[in-house]
Structure formats: structure tokens, C-alpha cells
Amino acid sequence: MLRRELSALQATALNMIDMVGIGPFITTSIVALTMGSAPLALLAWVCGAALSFADAAIWSELGAKLPAAGGSYAFLRETYGRNTWGRLMAFLFVWQTTFQAPLVVTSGALGFAKYLSFIVALSPIAVKLVAASLVALLVFLLYRRIGAVGKISVVLWTTVLLTLAWIIISGFASGDISQAFSMTNAVDPINGVWAALGVASISTMYSYLGYYNICHLGAEVKDPVRVIPRSMLISIAGIAVLYLCMQVAVYSVIPVAEVASSSFIVSTFIEQIHGSTAALIATGLILVVALSSLFGVMLGYTRIPYAAAKDGLFFSMFGKEHPKHAFPHVSLLVLGGLGIVFALTLTIEDTIKSIIAMRVFTQFVSQGIGLMIYRRRIGAENMPWRMWLYPIPALLAIAGWLWIFSSAKPLQQQLGMTAPLVGIVVYLVLAKVQRQWPFNTQQQTA
């Protein structure tokens, strides 16, 4: 049985190291290129924070009420009806997670290898081998009981904060802060500010994702009613401040055109201020930050197939726990194995923006609608934590995710729509064979 050992500090640390990762160090240049000016780029980072806060209100209500392993899996199962539509919605989430979780790990591992090439020249094959080796290292680090994992997370979290603090202080001390808010030499976005903002917000949201990581570990959190909502809101607030300060620091030193064209913007930034030796040290710290984030990401995702298998909605082997340390070791090994395969076969461009498109309908939008259905069924008074101004934050989150999806490229949108449709077919085939809902008319409804 999973043990409730994660404290509020550890929960916040796991969320924050999940959020940072390699994301802002790569997407800073992408956002600058898309928006064409520093102030507009900053606006995209503000939009990402706003959507994260609105969506976190949904996660907080559900996480406090349903603190179970698997996060969204448990939420969708309960909110849509445990033995009816909830079976389908939960299955679809696990279905996409089986592919999407290793893709998330792959994107971070490839980003890690990309920054490593600033220190040592790497061939394309070497980049893939480094990424695959990193995934294997993560599996090794996570192959232990949750209490030890929580302690490791705090150490990694401290490294994340110190690295970002160095970047921010360097920029503020050496640069011209007014340059970050100047429209001088700005380039108008090709398709207009609103369209560009939607595209750029896909990248900023990629960097914010992870604020809900503790929900996937809900069965291992002490005092979840208090810890889960608090850890998410603190994580978003803290990371939003750090991200915005980091962007201001970078634009205070480097013009937006140079930011947009750089493959190693933070390494270049530190090199310009402190020299090549400091740039190498900064790059090393960025690699530690990336490793820290992937550590938290893989930890949370391993609990999703585990929870589904325990409920009989996924392959039973994923429900096995380590006989001594009580963690889902089969789920960890399988997702890690897929991550290694993806790292050896895909590129970072294949993964980043498609990740969000795949999740919009099967997770974020479905979860927001599910919360409103669930509240209506059991009554708001039975929710131990309730968002302010309900249902406005939930509606804003749903609208925000639909806006993000509409800004994706057609191929990414098609992937986001095709994955759940294929999942529905697979579910119906399995349900027919196993005589489960909707083919079992004797099954109780929830």
C-alpha cells in the first residue's frame, strides 16, 4: 500500500522542479521569435501564468476531494461516474498518458542534450544517446521508496532556485531593465498580436506545466486537503515571478532579435556578463535543473497507469508494487523504457508543441467540465476546498485551453483529435471482450 509521506515542502518542491526543467531555457527564444518584442514576449509569459492559476483551481478542488494515485485518472473516473462514462474518460486519459508521458520525458531529455552540446560538441547520434542515458539514470534515481524521493526533491529544488536567482541577479545588476519594456526595434508579429500570443502561449504553457504534479501523488501526501491546493498555488506564484524576472533579466542584457536567434540563450547571456567559464558553470546548472524537472515528471506519471491497473482499467502488471519499498516499479520501468526508445528515435521539435495539443480534450477541458458535473451531483458543501468565484475560474480555464488548441498547427490539432478517437475504439473493443460498460447492462451506474 502506498504511504502518505510527502510533506507540504516536498510537495511544493516536486511541483516546482517539474515546472522549470529545460522549458524556459529553450522556449525563451521561441517566444521572442514569435512575438517580436520583449514587452509582448513578457505578455505571453503572463498569459501562461494566468491560465495556470485558473486551471489550478480545478485541480485543487478535485485534488483535495479525491487525493488518490494517478491524479486526473481518479478525477475523471469519479466525476463522470465511476462505472459509466467515467470508465471511458479515465481510460482515454491513461491511453494518451501511456504515449504522452514518455514524450514529455523525451522532450526534456533531448533539451538536456542540446544544452550539453554547448559544453562539449555532440553529433546528432551522440545527442540521442545522451538523452536515452539520462532517462535510464532517472529510472535508477526513482527506483526507491517515496520518502527518500521526497528528500531528493528538496535538494534538487534548492538547486533550481539558486540557478534562477543567479540568472536574475546577473541581469538586473549588469543590464538595462528599461530595455525589457521598450518597443524599440520591435518586429510586428506576422499574423497579428492576438494570433501570435496564442502561438507563443503554447510554449509558455509548456514551461508552466507541472504545477499539478502533486495530484498524481495524491495517495502519498500528508494532509492532502491542505497540502495539495497550497502547494500548487505557491508553486505557480513562485515560478511565475521567477520566469518573469528571468525574462526581464535576459532582455535587459540581450536585444530581442539576438534572443530570438540563440540556441543557448541563457548560456550566451551568462557568457556576455561573466565570461566563458561562468557560462560553462551556468550551463552545468541548467543541466541539473533539467534533470531535477524530469525527476519530478517521471515520478508523477508512473502513478497514473498504476492507479488504472489497480482499478482494473489497464494492464494488471502496471499495478504491481515493489515488494520491499512499496512503489509502482513496473510502471516506472515501462514508461522509462518507452522514454529511452523515443529519445533514440525522435527530435525535440517532434514533441514540445504536440504534447499540449494531445492533452487539451482528454485531460484539461474534460477535467473542468467534470468538476462542474461533480459539484452539481454531490453539492458544493461536500467539497473540502472550494475555488473563489466559482465557476468563473473553471470557465476561464476551459476557454483558455480551447484558445491554446486553436493556436496549434493543423497537424498538432489533428493529433490532439485523433488520439482520443482511436482510444474510444480501443476502449469499446476491450469493454466488449470484458463485458464492461456500456455492454454490461447489469453493471451498476454511479
Q: Give the count of alpha carbons within 13 A of 218, CB side only.
A: 28
Q: Provide the pLDDT for residue 446.
A: 44
Q: For the chain, percent helix, then strand, then coil, each to nearest 5?
A: 80, 0, 20
Q: Provide the pLDDT for residue 154.
A: 77
Q: Provide the pLDDT for residue 242.
A: 95
Global confidence as pTM: 0.88
Q: How far apart are CA 11 and CA 152, in angstroms?
A: 12
User: Which structural domains are found in the chain, ordered by start?
Assistant: 8-434 (1.20.1740.10)
Q: Provide the pLDDT for residue 141.
A: 84
Q: Provide the pLDDT for residue 289.
A: 79
Per-residue pLDDT tens over the stretch 302-357: 888 888 888 888 878 888 887 777 778 899 999 999 999 999 988 776 787 788 88
Q: How far apart are CA 210 and CA 17, in angstroms?
A: 8
Q: How far apart are CA 368 and CA 397, in angstroms?
A: 7
Q: Provide the pLDDT for residue 263.
A: 81
Q: What residue has cell string 504534447?
A: 355
Number of residues in the chain? 446
User: Which residue ranges of the chain lie beneath pLDDT 70?
Assistant: 1, 144-150, 185-191, 349, 441-446
- Collapsing DSSP states into helix, strand and coil, what is residue 446? coil
Q: How far apart are CA 66 and CA 9, in angstroms?
A: 20
Per-residue pLDDT tens over the stretch 229-257: 999 999 999 999 999 999 999 999 999 99
Number of C-beta neighbours around residue 432 at 10 A: 12
Grid coordinates representing 117 are: 552540446
